[in-house]
A and B are shown apart, each in its own frame.
Chain A
Amino acid sequence: MRKYNKLIFELSKPGRTAYRLPENDVEEIAVEELIPAEYLNDDELDLPEVSEVDIIRHYTNLSNKNFGVDTGFYPLGSCTMKYNPKVNEDMAGLEGFVNIHPLQPEETVQGALRLMYELDQALCEIAGMDKMTLQPAAGAHGELTGLTLIKAYHENRGDTNRTKIIIPDSAHGTNPATAIMAGFDTIEIKSTEEGIVDIESLKAALSDEVAGLMLTNPNTLGLFEKNIREMADLVHECGGLLYYDGANANAILGKARPGDMGFDVVHFNIHKTFSTPHGGGGPGSGPVGVKDILLDFLPTPTVEKDGDRYYLDYDRPKSVGRMKDFHGHFNVLVKAYTYILTMGRDGLERASEWAVLNANYLAHKLKDHYNVQEDAIFKHEFVLAGLKDALSEVTTLDVAKRLLDYGYHPPTVYFPLIVNEAIMPEPTETESVETLEEFAEALIKIAEEAKEDPEILKEAPHETPVRRVNETQAARNPILKYEG
């Protein structure tokens, strides 16, 4: 097929159009008589003029230069790129959900409120928490909401000295960024050789200045933090609270619950664990669940039930206020609830079982060619410390780029930071054993290529719509918009 390489602006031709509005049926008064000329723009808009056919072909061609879960295996660690069920899209597209205004009277949106209330309850049961807010827009926004609640809790007790958040060195980058954004300082604690939190390092970090600990469990190495109870007790004893980063929750559905582990506040990444599409970057959704001690501080409004009636509760005097406009990413929430009902209590547990079995199976297949942690039971993901006995000039980046030629989206690379040359696959439960085996074969073949013909890796990818992209030039001479 011919390579398509046009910008929409380059298709523009004066006089072309892709829209038609009805004739204006009210009396037409010149805009200058309605709005003072000093406020009006005299210039024509600098937007392209294209036909509907131009637009459809343009974006269809662009979509052909993309790769999604529907295209192929996408084992991007810590992102849980599971299959996005199509019925979810249909349900979220129902007229009764799509075309309701967020400020409509409550009696006209009972179905929407009921869905939110039932989802709230289901997520609480899965997390072992008491109440959710569905407002947060994404995982990082859930983190910010959670730390906002922790801050409010301490402030409400007059305990204003708690300015620090403890974060393990294996944490997602959003954790420290969130802590700073929420006005805290961070204390980084170390991991053990084994890859879990070093309890001694945690103990040394504890003081009456600690507001809380942020932790993901299983952690980013795919290991279950087995000392979590002891850690929770230590943090609680010193007056801090525990925040659960739910990015890795796909490993433990129905098996263990953050609430039972001692966490006080939790977020879920709906777009990871509950199968909603990642949308080329978003929208996600990051509901936050809390134990009763934080209930009063939840953002307004919460969704409540009174008899048969569902309503939005704005009357929450101790609330931290609003975290975003309106009620969260409702359309994403519909998809998540559809998924939870489809899978049910049995299917969610089965999903975690398969996510874990798939991860361990893939790790096993790769252990002769890549550095895999010995004798570990992984949960939903694992981390390879690069190639075994590779030539020094061949990096993880080269392996990842070569994977593109084999038709796979590479795993997450260079994360977590504590592992050299890290490659982090997360297969998820929606992949078949055949897919895992073919993927392992590709990675093994690449390991062989790395020894025999390293240039083929260094110059990869070869088969993609564009060859290796020059990131240095992009950053040194930023071109951030079309100048034409």
Chain B
Amino acid sequence: MYPYIPNTKEDEQRMLETIGFDSIDDLFSDIPEDLVLDRELDLKPSMSELEVANYITKLSKENTTINDLTCFLGAGAYDHYIPSIIGHILSRSEFYTSYTPYQAEMSQGTLQYIFEYQSLICKLTGMDVSNASLYDGGTAVAEAAFMASNITRKDEIVVSKTVNPQSREVLKTYAHLQGIKVIEVEDNGGVTDLDKLKANVSDKTAAVIVQNPNFFGIIEDIEAIEEIAHSQRRTLLIASVDPISLGILKTPASLGVDIVVGEGQALGMPLNFGGPYLGFIATNKSHMRRLPGRIVGQTIDAEENRAFVLTLQAREQHIRREKATSNICSNQGMLTLAAAVYFVTLGKKGLREVSLQATQKAHYAMNKITESGNYKPLFDKPFFKEFAITSSIDADEINGKLLEEKILGGYPLGEKYPQYENGILYAVTEKRSKDEIDRLSSVLEGMI
């Protein structure tokens, strides 16, 4: 018996008789014989819930978690505190067992939380319009590049190498499909090299893409970059931002950014070995009809009550097919709910406090680690919650030693940035305590 199949053997007989078939096999008689699988699938037979749970739980225990370790690893996925309330709201099955709110009248719950999510993203970034999510930060960068290319009808993208290497890899995979040229600009001391940027931006440039704070945790001079990007007619500026940083940093809108994207994992989503996370994208009103993906709008119902509905759907694949702005259909709906609840739980003061504590603890960690002079800051620029350290010791050796001491070390920069061979990028969130940071520092000192 299968708990998820309610019909019985007797039902089967009665139903087959009703429709005039002798057997279930007859219902598959339209499949040509040479295509019918003439054996059972080579999988295990069905199991009880207890047996399955025992096995899957065993696999889960073969992992070491960030509760077993102290996490100083970031590089795009962060160990921020997740308020308990988020999991409880997400576990309401009226939310999670529904689908895309095609039928507005029985989906007002989903539609309203997406509308609130869009509003919150706009408030945080200062932009006019947000969509209802993209898959993650990396694909959001790529979608923004496509969007810019469509708007400007140009086919070169200039991207700073201080943008997350993973996002750039996704960008390059996508760009190749449409014959869009991606030009990467080197860093200079941990920030985008402005002279090189200027040299590569031309009238062919659809967009300049930067990340802020950048992959090294450093705050870029967006005003200067904006000036370079907008020196060309129609060229757009795309910025990938850490939403937590906007608790203290200037809004992308106030800096002249045209399309804001980013990874929303830090907004109340567990690490989950890399997903699902949340890609966000927001832009100005003038570009709203070029946005990819779903958008929820406010309207009225037949009795003139406030109501919400999917709107501007003519951009989308189910209506526009070949001419759609993107092929995205399923998105990250549940994660927009997580982000919305995170925003309102922390609220006006809380998000700023998370941002501030992360900044202060990261700076404390940086000072502590470099105090003795055995470890040196790789860069000397203002940073947010991540910073790079270098030393004479191999990064893998350091991380191996830290792991023995139950510390999850930082991200080794050498592979993606050979010029920073022994560099390690540490992330410090508001969750890290002084004791934990001191212990990291003392284990590091002990290796000298």
B101 part of interface (Cβ distance < 8 Å):
yes
- Taking the nearest CB of chain B, how far is it from the CB of A453, in angstroms? 17
Q: Across the interface, do B12 and A357 meet the contact criterion of CB distance under 8 Å?
A: yes
Closest chain A residue, CB of each to CB of B93: A70
A228 part of interface (Cβ distance < 8 Å):
yes
Contact with A along B141-177 (1 / 0, CB 8 A): 0000010000000000000000000110110110011
B337 part of interface (Cβ distance < 8 Å):
yes
A179 part of interface (Cβ distance < 8 Å):
yes
B228 part of interface (Cβ distance < 8 Å):
no
Q: Across the interface, do B56 and A178 meet the contact criterion of CB distance under 8 Å?
A: no
Q: Across the interface, do B129 and A404 meet the contact criterion of CB distance under 8 Å?
A: no
Give Cα A283–Cα B263 distance, bound, in whole angstroms.
Answer: 15
A133 part of interface (Cβ distance < 8 Å):
no
Of B4, B172, B335, B359, which one neighbours A82 at CB under 8 angstroms? B4
Interface residues of A in 194-218 (CB under 8 A from B): none
Interface residues of B in 87-140 (CB under 8 A from A): 88-89, 91-110, 112-116, 118-120, 122-124, 128-130, 132-133, 135-139
Q: Across the interface, do B137 and A325 meet the contact criterion of CB distance under 8 Å?
A: yes
Q: Across the interface, do B248 and A41 meet the contact criterion of CB distance under 8 Å?
A: yes
Give Cα A119–Cα B61 distance, bound, in whole angstroms.
Answer: 18
Q: Across the interface, do A97 and B272 meet the contact criterion of CB distance under 8 Å?
A: yes
Contact with B along A421-442 (1 / 0, CB 8 A): 0000000011111000000000
Task: Chain A residues near B128: list those with CB within 8 A.
Answer: 480-481
A156 part of interface (Cβ distance < 8 Å):
no
Q: Across the interface, do B382 and A36 meet the contact criterion of CB distance under 8 Å?
A: yes
Contact with A along B266-286 (1 / 0, CB 8 A): 000011111111000000000
Task: Chain B residues near A110: list those with CB within 8 A.
Answer: 62-63
Interface stretch (choices A236-244, A337-345, A385-393, A444-452): A337-345
Contact with B along A315-350 (1 / 0, CB 8 A): 000001111111111111010011011111111111
Task: Chain B residues near A186: list those with CB within 8 A.
Answer: 322
Give Cα A337–Cα B59 distance, bound, in whole angstroms.
Answer: 12
Contact with B along A43-60 (1 / 0, CB 8 A): 011111110100110011
Q: Across the interface, do A281 and B31 meet the contact criterion of CB distance under 8 Å?
A: no
Instruction: In the A-B complex, list the 5 residue pairs whose CB atoms are closest, starting with the nearest.
Output: A326-B274, A111-B62, A96-B60, A281-B333, A102-B274
Q: Across the interface, do B5 and A475 meet the contact criterion of CB distance under 8 Å?
A: no
Q: Across the interface, do A260 and B334 meet the contact criterion of CB distance under 8 Å?
A: no
Give Cα A140–Cα B113 distance, bound, in whole angstroms.
Answer: 24
Q: Interface residue count for B (Cβ, 8 Å)?
A: 203
B420 part of interface (Cβ distance < 8 Å):
no
- Taking the nearest CB of chain B, how far is it from the CB of A245, in angstroms? 12
Of B27, B49, B102, B331, which one neighbours A342 at CB under 8 angstroms? B49
Q: Across the interface, do B96 and A47 meet the contact criterion of CB distance under 8 Å?
A: no
Q: Across the interface, do B99 and A103 meet the contact criterion of CB distance under 8 Å?
A: no
Contact with B along A454-480 (1 / 0, CB 8 A): 000001010011111111011100111
Q: A50-B344, A179-B322 are in contact. List 16 more A-B contacts (CB 8 A).
A: A44-B348, A47-B351, A59-B89, A94-B57, A100-B63, A103-B73, A114-B62, A181-B327, A279-B98, A280-B98, A325-B275, A345-B45, A348-B43, A409-B103, A471-B309, A474-B297
Question: Can you identify 11 A-B contacts, CB atoms within 8 angstroms?
Answer: A19-B347, A50-B347, A59-B113, A84-B97, A94-B60, A96-B63, A104-B408, A139-B330, A177-B317, A361-B19, A471-B299
Interface stretch (choices B185-193, B203-211, B288-296): B288-296
Interface residues of A in 285-327 (CB under 8 A from B): 285, 299, 320-327
Task: Chain A residues near B15: list those with CB within 8 A.
Answer: 357, 361, 433
A35 part of interface (Cβ distance < 8 Å):
yes
B29 part of interface (Cβ distance < 8 Å):
yes
Task: Chain A residues near B88: list those with CB within 8 A.
Answer: 56
Task: Chain B residues near A464: list those with CB within 8 A.
Answer: 105-106
Of A62, A147, A277, which one neighbours B97 at CB under 8 angstroms? A277
Contact with A along B56-80 (1 / 0, CB 8 A): 1111111111110101010111010
Give Cα A79–Cα B98 distance, bound, in whole angstroms.
Answer: 11
Q: Across the interface, do B273 and A100 meet the contact criterion of CB distance under 8 Å?
A: yes
A17-B350, A282-B330, A321-B172 known; A470+B115 contact, CB < 8 A = no
A102-B271, A177-B327 known; A325+B76 contact, CB < 8 A = yes
Q: Across the interface, do A469 and B63 meet the contact criterion of CB distance under 8 Å?
A: no
Give Cα A467–Cα B92 distance, bound, in whole angstroms.
Answer: 24
- Taking the nearest CB of chain B, how far is it from the CB of A445, in angstroms? 19
B303 part of interface (Cβ distance < 8 Å):
yes
Q: Across the interface, do A97 and B97 meet the contact criterion of CB distance under 8 Å?
A: no
Q: Interface residue count for A (Cβ, 8 Å)?
A: 194
A419 part of interface (Cβ distance < 8 Å):
no
A99-B65, A282-B330 known; A332+B276 contact, CB < 8 A = yes
A31-B356, A96-B65 known; A481+B341 contact, CB < 8 A = no
Give Cα A27–Cα B297 distance, bound, in whole angstroms.
Answer: 46
Task: Chain B residues near A349: list those with CB within 8 A.
Answer: 40-41
Q: Across the interface, do A100 and B271 meet the contact criterion of CB distance under 8 Å?
A: yes
Q: Across the interface, do A181 and B301 meet the contact criterion of CB distance under 8 Å?
A: no
A418 part of interface (Cβ distance < 8 Å):
no
Q: Across the interface, do B311 and A474 meet the contact criterion of CB distance under 8 Å?
A: yes
- Taking the nearest CB of chain B, how far is it from the CB of A386, in angstroms? 18
Q: Across the interface, do A126 and B41 meet the contact criterion of CB distance under 8 Å?
A: yes
Q: Across the interface, do B173 and A353 meet the contact criterion of CB distance under 8 Å?
A: no
Interface residues of A in 361-411 (CB under 8 A from B): 361, 364, 377, 400-401, 404, 409-410
Q: Across the interface, do A21 and B273 meet the contact criterion of CB distance under 8 Å?
A: no
B390 part of interface (Cβ distance < 8 Å):
no
Contact with B along A224-267 (1 / 0, CB 8 A): 10101100000000000000000000001111110011000000
B326 part of interface (Cβ distance < 8 Å):
yes
Q: Across the interface, do B433 and A25 meet the contact criterion of CB distance under 8 Å?
A: yes
Task: Chain B residues near A59: list those with CB within 8 A.
Answer: 89, 92, 113, 337, 341
Task: Chain A residues near B133: list those with CB within 8 A.
Answer: 281-282
Task: Chain A residues near B448: list those with CB within 8 A.
Answer: none
Q: Across the interface, do B112 and A7 meet the contact criterion of CB distance under 8 Å?
A: yes
Task: Chain B residues near A84: list those with CB within 8 A.
Answer: 93, 96-97
B447 part of interface (Cβ distance < 8 Å):
no
Interface residues of B in 1-57 (CB under 8 A from A): 2-7, 11-12, 14-16, 18-19, 21, 24, 27-32, 34-37, 40-47, 49, 52-53, 55-57
A1 part of interface (Cβ distance < 8 Å):
no
- Taking the nearest CB of chain B, how far is it from the CB of A172, in angstroms? 8
B430 part of interface (Cβ distance < 8 Å):
yes
Interface residues of A in 24-46 (CB under 8 A from B): 24-29, 31, 34-36, 38-41, 44-46
Give Cα A18–Cα B4 distance, bound, in whole angstroms.
Answer: 39
A95-B60, A323-B170 known; A341+B44 contact, CB < 8 A = yes
- Taking the nearest CB of chain B, how far is it from the CB of A7, in angstroms? 6
Task: Chain B residues near A56: list those with CB within 8 A.
Answer: 85, 88-89
Of B31, B106, B251, B331, which one neighbours A409 at CB under 8 angstroms? B106
Task: Chain B residues near A87: list those with CB within 8 A.
Answer: 49, 52-53
Give Cα A255–Cα B331 distance, bound, in whole angstroms.
Answer: 30
Of A281, A364, A459, A481, which one neighbours B19 at CB under 8 angstroms? A364
Closest chain A residue, CB of each to CB of B342: A19
Give Cα A295–Cα B120 distance, bound, in whole angstroms.
Answer: 43
A27-B364, A97-B273, A138-B328 known; A432+B6 contact, CB < 8 A = yes
Contact with B along A140-172 (1 / 0, CB 8 A): 110110011001000000000000000000000
Q: Across the interface, do B100 and A278 meet the contact criterion of CB distance under 8 Å?
A: yes
Give Cα A81–Cα B103 distance, bound, in whole angstroms.
Answer: 15
